[in-house]
Chains A and B, each alone.
Chain A
Amino acid sequence: MLSFRSATSVAFCLIFLAGLTVPAQAAEPYLDFVQGLRERGYYDVALRYLDGIEQDAQLPQEIRDRVPYERGVILLEGARRLTNLDEQRKQLDRAQASFERFVTEAPQHPLAGQANTERGRILMEKARVEIWDADDPANEGNRDAFRKRARDYVQKARQIFQAAHDQHKATWEKFPVYIPEDEKQLRADRAQAEALYMQAQLDLAQCGYWEAQTYDRGSDKWRELLTQASLSFEEIHTKYRSQIAGLYARLWQGKCFEEMGEIRMALGIYNELLEHDPNTPSMRSLQDETRRFRLICLNHEKRKDFHLVVQEATEWLNQARSRARTTVGQGIKWELARALEQLGSDRSVNEAQRKNYLAQALNHARAINRYPGELKAPSGALIQRLMVALDRPEGDPQDFDTAFGLGKQLLDETKAINTRIEQARAKGDRKAVAELQATLKATAAEMTRMYDIALKLADSRTEIDQVMYARLRLAWGYFLQEKFYESATVSGYVVLKYGDEFGTVAQEAAFLQLVAFQNAYLLAPEDQRQFEADQILAAANLLIEEFPDSDRATDARTTVANVYWNSKEYAKAAEWWAAVPTTATGYAKSQIQAGQAYWTAYTEAVNLPDGERPDAETLNDLLSKAELHIARGVAEMEKQTPAEAFPSELVLGKLTLAQIRNLGGIYTTDKESGTIGAVELLTAEPHAVTTAVAVPEGQKRPTDPSNIKSSKIAGFAYQQLLRAYIGLRDLDKARDARAKLESAAAGDDAGALTQVYVAFGQELQRELEQLKAAGETDRLNEVRAGFESFLNDLFGRKDGQTFNSLLWIAETYSSLGEATEDDPAKSREYFDKAATTYRDMLDRAAADSNFFSKPQQASVVKLRLADSRRRQGDFEAAEQVMLEVVAENPNVPNVQFEAARLYQDWAGSGQVDAWKKYEIAIDGRAEPAPVWGWAKAAQLLQRNLMVNQGDEKLEQMHLDARYNLGESYYLFAREQSDDAAREKLLEKAHYAVEAFVRISGDLPDEEFQRFDALYQKILTDQGQPVVSLAEVVGTGPAAKPAEGQPATTKTAGTTPEAAGKKSGKSGGSNMLMVILLLAVGAGLVGGIYYMSVSQSKKRHAALAAAAGKSGDNPRRRSKARV
């Protein structure tokens, strides 16, 4: 038997609420107040209020008419929260009476139909209760009477539903078949009428299904009614197969099949329903119900697929914890218990495993049995069977000592199971580990129950220490079951109650509380962890205060540090790690962790946009703390570590310290101060990083990126070594380090080699930006000069250059150019050098047909050349190359994107008459090569998106093209001296932005704000009232103040891992281009286009700033780049 509260209840709920939001004209907000009370669950107050206002002679008539309806709604909602079935029945009666009174007194009221439907539902609810009672073995003698009452209720409900059905059908049919799209209200009214009509049909079909349940299974009448219901559901599904009501009908059709033994057909239907995308709450509810029905089929004697039931039910319960206590959740748990019982009854399975299944089944049955409803009686019977099967005493202990003793036995069992888990884990037997963990949970649940009973039986004669241990073990039992809040609460109580008298126990309890909250923290959604974090802090402070020198206090500090680390509060995390005392076992490691946390805090802060970045003093403080703690931790750990050992903390600590030393220009050890330089940190024995990351020749590197011998970490180590030798201007050693870098990080993998270039370029840019942010101007210039000199030397050696080495040089020049944008002349110089290198590549290719390994590489190098010339400000030269690329690749979207951008940048350059280039940027040109311009590029990108939906990079390019189109119109307008031409272009800009946002649905916040800022500028220039796009198009986020903007892109790059993540996600550098150069074999279109859409963090920052200050002119207008 099944409860039924699902069918399109969501749709109905909306209709139901819509009825309540009719504003009252009276000054006293009667209905708002009642609704507010109901939403709070203050049903008693709401009922009292209605009673009160009904006595008020001045109550407006329209409110008086509605009071019975409101009372019915409150009683109905309240009844659903009652756990006592008798109370629930009584309240449902009262609700029904209220709805009846309402319908009788106000039959023409707009809510009369809804009240009738609610009456019908209450009757069906009652019918189901009678059916459950009829199925209860305890009521066997009265079964017929229960069934008759159920049938009567169904009959009455059917009459009501039929009346509602006719009424809703007539209402719906009054609407015209075609309603123009702009008559929104009429369309909405028709949709609501149709929803009511669909619901009425479903309600009627449900009556047939439930009436069938009032007859013996397999009887003629049962079969006849069920067949009829099945046909009715099918009819509804056929009419509304794409709507939720139609899908619910399909679900119930499957249920009818299942009950008639057509398991295969039922499963076919359920599988079909489970394939829908669960993208709405109502679809999710439908699929939960479907999952439950499917499990019933799998448990059916025709399938007996019990293992699959256990697997699917366990997965569902793990994924849908918040829904586990709903009726459907209970039903799924019930099917799980049934399957476990069956598995536990299989004599072919060993005894221990069978007991394990049965114990788990018992736990689930007990959990189900706590709640009233259809599963109360069957779960009670299951508990009895399982107790017998497990040979457990049927009754619970009656005194503290017995319960305490049984609890202790179970505690010992958990210890033994834990030992077996460790053994299985050591053997790598994952299956055994999983099974044992399930057994552990089941045993812990029984242990918890036993200590709970013991504590209830404790009295003044019970010894206090026994009560204390019972409580502590109760907390431990909860912990083993992963009920962390319960565990923390009980252990917290132990600390409070016994802390003064039993210090050691209190210490353990405090630690258990801390760990329980830590686990709860890790399980909580990332944005809802504040409570858990606060509790961890409080528990840790307690431990540290009470037991400052204990290992538990060190654990507490580390735990809090980890919490802060997870919440990205790195400086706070660092403080906690740094506070670990020198006497503690993990002192050295904690020092390194503290230093790395300070370093992460520093790099995060340095990468903030100008307005948000801390001052140079704060930054330097973070940096010096990072250096101090890592150096201290490294020194301490080196003392403790044998020469041949390479703990990863030590290696990574040294690597980070080398990075810091490189940043500070300490490339080699300073003999006076003794400060160890980057080169020595990386290469000096013992514990040289280069030794630690080395692998024997021919051996593959591990794929786990956290392994110190992985390509990622080895590559990063050599990157730092290369960086140090560049700093020392030691060309030979630098070349050697670069070769090792390529070998360590890439081996023979050309794709991985490109990643090496990408990572190095990113690292260089990051370093320059950090120095800039920290105000280290001299050092910044020194680093730039060092790189430049190195690159010049390298480029100067004409012999031995390959495609790869020249590409590396060109891209590193580009990185320097990008990182030097605050010095336009210098930046132009770097881009010029990049362009020269690209030109050199093209010249070499002209002389040597084997220089490019793939012919398409030529186009890409030209595109990079054009980009460098554009950024250099040499637009004529850029155009010349760009037109060549366009002629060769006229239909490649991102070539066209770059061409349009070139003309837009040119137009905005301020050169004489350059502004006229806006026309080409917008509308393109046919000759000498077909340039699309933003208008056509945007259209074609949109069209391309229709066949490549979900392609984020293409979507970003499309958004940028749309934005640039609007902006180009706007900027072009501002250049016009003729008012009419200006207004016309502004009008185009206005339409381009507004129409695009209007049809784009929910743009991401950052994008919406970008378009909104542009829109407001256009309105200002048009002389129109300045309003937010959100008001105009009715979508998007409400306008937010600047400080409410989403954070700009941050590039931490504090560790190889972080650097890797960033590069994988956004590219972030000109170096990404290199990937393309080696990937073009996959097709130029795809390659060029993917390469083009990497994002620059600076661009993000400027964009966010522009969005925040709508009046400002965003310096950048594109997130897409080459």
Chain B
Amino acid sequence: MKWNTLPRLLGLLGGLALIGDPAWAVDSVTRRSTEKVAAGEITSVTRDEVVVKPKVGSETTVPSNDIIKIEWDGAPPALNLSVGQELAGNFANALTGYKESQEAAASSSNSNMKADIQFLVARATARQALQQNEGLDEAATLLDQFIERFRDHYRFYEAQLLRGEVAIAQGDYAAADSAFSSLSRSPFADFQMAAKIGNAKTMLARNDVQAAKAAFDQVAGMNASTPLEVSRKLEAMLGQANCLQSQSQYEPAAKILDQVIRESSPDDTRLQAEAYVRQGECYSAIGDNTMQAIMAYLHVDVVPSLAREKEYRAEALYHLSQLWPVVNQPARAAEAAATLEQEYPESEWTKKLGGR
């Protein structure tokens, strides 16, 4: 027997010992408020909550704003893998997987699961459209179809929120108002805050900066008791800073952004990435702060968790390509431009770089 036989056999035994008892068939709900997964049979789904009945013990009711995802019993294998793709920002891959899952689940009797997959297709389409600023109409249609068909699904409010964001990007403010209005009737404080923020963003898009600022101020001044509410509050502060920026009040805007960065959760990478990019804009505009602006943009470029926020990284890279020459670093500018072109060939910032 050769020398490596023993470890291999030990590995085999170890491998066998490590495998636990197979679980029985369950749906499992991943929650924001706790790491404990609620597992069992989902017996009821409404827009406000989901009821899970475990094999042993009493039912658990999970509020819909607390649900990150549900792994449905009998879901197509590609579904969970596609969720991972979506989380990593690979929307095209995610969509392929979701659509495959949709086909595979067509004959399933679980209508809640099928609705969930339909929502995921709409969500990935919307995120991709928002990122690329293309395909917004298709995203809106898919979200409308979901909202219309599944008015009592736990994804309903999330769909409304996304529909509002898509509508703003489309310039369809009436649709945005309608979506946020619906969202504001949610029983959950964080969704209510999100609705107000949505309204404020709509006002800002309409160039009604004063009204938008007031709306953002209102949310930023609210008490926040849960991490979700804190996140909404910080998002409102980001809105405040945007308003101040549009009023050329860069220094107070930069201060607010600094606070957003300090107080946000390290997991809230999207919020942080946007805050750094806005901060970069503020420093650029203040004058004599080129290096500070570069530092702000660099955060989004070099910190791995922030660099995953592709649309903000593309924006940061564009600005870096413009700012590095100001501090006599043309090679770094070229590096930033090359990264932008290579990694985000379809980004609007790449088009801007090429003068397209």
B254 to chain A, nearest CB (A): 14
A-contacting residues, B1-51, CB 8 Å: 1-2, 4-5, 8, 10-12, 14-16, 18-19, 22-26, 28
How distant is the Cα of A370 from the Cα of B22 in the complex, in angstroms? 66
For residue A522, CB closer than 8 A to chain B, the reply is no
Which parts of A809-827 form the interface with B (CB within 8 Å)?
A: none
Q: List, in ascending order, chain A residues with CB within 8 A of B57's CB.
A: none
Q: How many residues from A make CB contacts under 8 Å with B?
A: 53
A36 with B304, Cβ < 8 A, contacts A998-B18, A1025-B28 known: yes
CA gap between A998 and B18 in the complex, in Å: 10
Contact of A990 with B96 in the complex, beta carbons under 8 Å: no
- Cβ-closest chain A residue relative to B23: A1024
**A1016 contacts chain B at the CB level, 8 A cutoff:** yes
CB-contact partner of B78 in A58, A949, A1111, under 8 A: A1111
B303 and A1022 contacting across the interface, CB-CB below 8 Å: no
CB closest residue in chain A, given B22: A1022
Cβ-defined contact, B262 with A27, below 8 A: yes
The smallest beta-carbon distance between A962 and chain B, in angstroms, is 12
Contact indicator A994/B19 (Cβ below 8 Å): yes
Query: Which of B11, B22, B73, B261: most chain A Cβ within 10 A?
Result: B22
Distance in angstroms from B2 CB to nearest chain A CB is 5
A1110/B78 contact (C-beta < 8 A), A33-B303, A1023-B25 known:
yes
Chain B, range 54-82, C-beta contacts under 8 Å to A: 71, 73-81
CA distance A1028 to B79 in the complex (A): 11
Is B104 among interface residues, defined by CB-CB distance under 8 A?
Answer: yes
Minimum CB–CB distance from B150 to chain A (whole Å) comes to 24
Given contacts A994-B15, A1039-B81, contact A29 B2 (CB under 8 A): no
Contact residues in B for A987 (Cβ distance below 8 Å): 22
Q: Is B134 an interface residue (CB 8 A)?
A: no
Residues of B within 8 A of A1026 (CB): 75, 77, 79-80
Using A991-B19, A998-B11, A1025-B28 as known contacts, say yes or no to A27 and B298 having CB atoms under 8 A apart.
Answer: no
Q: Which residue of B lies closest to A1030 (CB)?
A: B81
Query: A49 is contacted by which of B23, B272, B295 (Cβ under 8 Å)?
Result: B295
Interface centre among B4, B15, B23, B104 (most CB of A within 10 A): B15
Chain B residues whose CB sits within 8 angstroms of the CB of A1109 once the complex forms: 100
Given contacts A27-B272, A58-B262, A1020-B74, are A1041 and B97 in contact (CB under 8 A)?
A: yes
CB within 8 Å for A32 and B303 given contacts A995-B12, A1016-B77? yes
Contacts of A39 in B (CB 8 A): 302
Instruction: Please report the C-alpha to C-alpha distance between residue A1016 and residue B23 in the assembled complex, in whole angstroms.
Output: 14
In the complex, A697 has a CB within 8 A of chain B: no
Flag whether A86 is at the interface (Cβ < 8 A). no
Q: Which residues of A contact B261 (CB under 8 A)?
A: 27-28
The chain A residue sitting closest to B97, CB to CB, is: A1041
- From residue 289 to 326 of chain B, which have CB atoms closer than 8 A to chain A? 291, 294-295, 298-299, 301-306
A1028 near B81 (CB under 8 angstroms)? yes
Closest chain B CB from A954 CB (angstroms): 14
Interface of B is mostly: helix
CA distance A524 to B11 in the complex (A): 41
Q: Are B262 and A28 in contact (CB under 8 A)?
A: yes
A1023 x B26 contact (CB < 8 A) = yes
Q: How far is the CB of B302 from chain A (nearest CB, A)?
A: 3
CB distance from A683 to the nearest CB of B (A): 54
Tell whether, in the assembled complex, residue A946 and residue B302 are in contact, meaning their CB atoms are under 8 Å apart: no
Contacts of B11 in A (CB 8 A): 998-999
Do most interface residues of chain A lie in helix, strand or loop, or is the interface mixed? Answer: helix
A415 within 8 A of B: no
Of B160-168, B205-213, B219-227, B263-271, the stretch lying at the interface with chain A is: B263-271
Does residue A1043 face the partner (Cβ distance < 8 Å to B)?
yes
- Taken together as a complex, chains A and B put the C-alpha atoms of A1116 and B18 apart, in Å, by 30
Q: How far is the CA of A39 from the CA of B78 in the complex (A)?
A: 36
A40: B residues at CB distance < 8 A: 302
Interface residues of A in 1033-1088 (CB under 8 A from B): 1033, 1039, 1041-1043
Interface flag for A37 (CB, 8 Å): yes
Q: Is the CB of B298 within 8 A of A33?
A: yes
Please name the residue on chain A nearest to B271 by beta carbon: A27
**Bound state CA distance, A694 and B289, in angstroms?**
82
Q: Are A27 and B263 in contact (CB under 8 A)?
A: yes
Query: Who on chain A is nearest to B71 by CB?
Result: A1025
Residues of B within 8 A of A48 (CB): 291, 295
Residues of A within 8 A of B74 (CB): 1020, 1023
Residue of B at shortest CB range from A182? B14
Q: Other CB < 8 Å A-B pairs besides A27-B272, A999-B11, A1023-B73, 18 of them?
A: A28-B262, A29-B266, A29-B299, A33-B302, A42-B302, A986-B22, A999-B8, A999-B15, A1019-B77, A1022-B25, A1023-B26, A1024-B23, A1025-B28, A1025-B71, A1026-B75, A1026-B77, A1026-B80, A1111-B104
A-B contact pairs, 25 of them (CB 8 A): A26-B266, A27-B265, A32-B302, A36-B301, A45-B295, A48-B291, A48-B295, A983-B22, A994-B19, A995-B16, A996-B15, A998-B11, A999-B12, A999-B14, A1017-B77, A1024-B22, A1024-B25, A1025-B28, A1026-B79, A1028-B81, A1041-B85, A1110-B78, A1111-B76, A1111-B77, A1111-B78
> Which residues of B are in contact with A by a Cβ distance under 8 Å?
1-2, 4-5, 8, 10-12, 14-16, 18-19, 22-26, 28, 71, 73-81, 85, 93, 96-97, 100, 104, 261-266, 272, 291, 294-295, 298-299, 301-306, 332
